[in-house]
Structure 1
């Protein structure tokens, strides 16, 4: 699930920022998200202090599916994409998953988050960085095939950049591993009204449709997302002609 956050008393920036929920404690009234300072919105959030008010809409969207008797799983993240995977790992283990492994990737060591938390939950934590400043040099796709084989994984869960989700979905699907992806698309309204963040997804009936990342997602079966067509309007999408495809 996700949460959309914006300043309580300001209209700049106009749109809320969407984040995966890292930790929620309804008893204490605690909701925890993880983010990096990049644009105006996250800079404003980083400047908030205890007692400041935020405008929060939550929970939004879908969560990762969890079988009643889960099998071995591999959790793959890109940078801060690990935020929702830590609580997911706890849920998997509590539900009886025999093995949970992590592949934690980032551009550099300073972009890694939650690695020690992951190690507290699993004896199989692989770290990769693009520049080699921590763990293995390279991307998460490097060690992933061997890790799926070593764990006999039945499911792969991933959260991170779209390119990473595309790559790991192809690797998992080719090996018969179910793959679940949490997309990191920017969301405008967060409730599906604006129809601005859509993905081409193949339905159970075999028909491709544009679905909303904030409502039908952010968690999707990675094997059904047409990653190569994200950001475009393919001619075979249901309703493409009415939307002006030619």
Structure 2
């Protein structure tokens, strides 16, 4: 896990990116320590806010010279809607970098990078790190619709090996991100597959990678109430080197895991039932209910 810094981050810019937003922040002491796969958490609304939980975001770009980081996010609820209303000159309380990043070998390696939606945000700096070491990369980018893709042009600027799929066929091929994966692994001769996106996709990517003889590293999407290992809300069932399965914290031991060690059938929570509770109260309750469900499954 990285050594995080807490700092007031100044909003330098925010702009639309398809269905998402790109947020540029000046965050002194953070950018210099960011590696591909790290994330940060933001406190939104200040001390008296009705959104008490921090929001976690993968780092898209980090510029140590300018002391800036760039995030990509979608408006999912009250917190991200409030974040989207920020303007240059505003500040947000930021903690980061957090988590365990993607492993990048010192020697040249060939990798396929798979992402769903704005899960592609950390993949471009990862690709650049692999290329800088003399390696090769291919991309598989998927989303439900064309406007929910992120970074297609950026991927094509890095490599000619880019496959794009959408659920409805509105851009690229019609299908899922795993459909062209085996062919892409063969095309570039990949020995490793890095992925980020929804949990069902990560499970399927791992299955395809292993069948093709490649390693699988997945950045999991888990609800995180703190982001640095205190609240235990983001635990996942993961097998250790001894073969025993334990609940580990995805914010510290992850979010990047060897996909073959994650116990995928037990890793995805059931859909939450509708409630008339305020959203923020419901978030806290659901975080702990998910933990209890998982512990019950493991007992």
Is this a same-fold pair by TM over 0.5? yes
- Deviation at residue 231 of structure 1 after TM alignment: 4.4
Deviation of 1:207 after TM superposition, in Å, equals: 1.2
Contact 2:112 2:190 in 1 (8 A): yes
Could you tell me whether the CA contact under 8 Å between 2:45 and 2:51 is conserved in 1? Answer: no
Partner of 1:190: 227
1:235 alignment partner in structure 2: none
Structure 2 vs 1, CA of residues 231 and 160 (structure 1 numbering), >3 Å: closer, same or farther? Answer: closer
**Residue in structure 2 matching 1:101, options 138, 146, 153:** 138
Q: SS of the counterpart of 2:260?
A: coil
Are the counterparts in 1 of residues 45 and 82 from structure 2 also a CA contact under 8 Å? no
Equivalent residues in 2 for 1:130-169 (5 A)?
Answer: 130-169=167-206
Alpha-carbon separation, structure 2, partners of 1:69 and 1:35: 33
Q: Equivalent residues in 2 for 1:20-99 (5 A)?
A: 20-97=58-135, 99=136
Inter-partner Cα distance in structure 2 for 1:71 and 1:24 = 23
Question: 1:66: Cα distance to partner?
Answer: 0.6
Contact 2:59–2:122, Cα closer than 8 Å, also in 1: yes
Greater share of helix: 2
Cα contact 1:8–1:53 (8 A) shared by 2: no
Deviation at 1:135, TM superposition (A): 0.1
- Conservation of the 8 A alpha-carbon contact between 1:8 and 1:55: no
Distance 1:150 1:191 in 2: 39
Structure 1 position 11, deviation (Å): 2.6
Is the aligned partner of 1:117 residue 2:160? no
Deviation of 1:8 (Å): 5.5
Conservation of the 8 A alpha-carbon contact between 1:109 and 1:129: yes
Could you tell me which residue of structure 2 aligns to residue 237 of structure 1?
none
CA distance in 2, matches of 1:79, 1:39: 17
Q: Secondary structure at the match of 2:57?
A: strand
Cα deviation for residue 70 of structure 1 reads 3.2
Is 1:220 the counterpart of 2:257? The answer is: yes
Task: Provide the C-alpha distance between the structure 2 equivalents of 1:146 and 1:163, rounded to a whole number of angstroms.
Answer: 20
Report the Cα offset of residue 7 of structure 1: 2.1
Shift of 1:31: 1.1
Q: What do the CA deviations read for 1:6-53 (whole angstroms, capped 9, x no partner)?
A: 226243211011011111112212111101112111111110001101
Aligned-residue Cα RMSD (Å) equals: 1.5
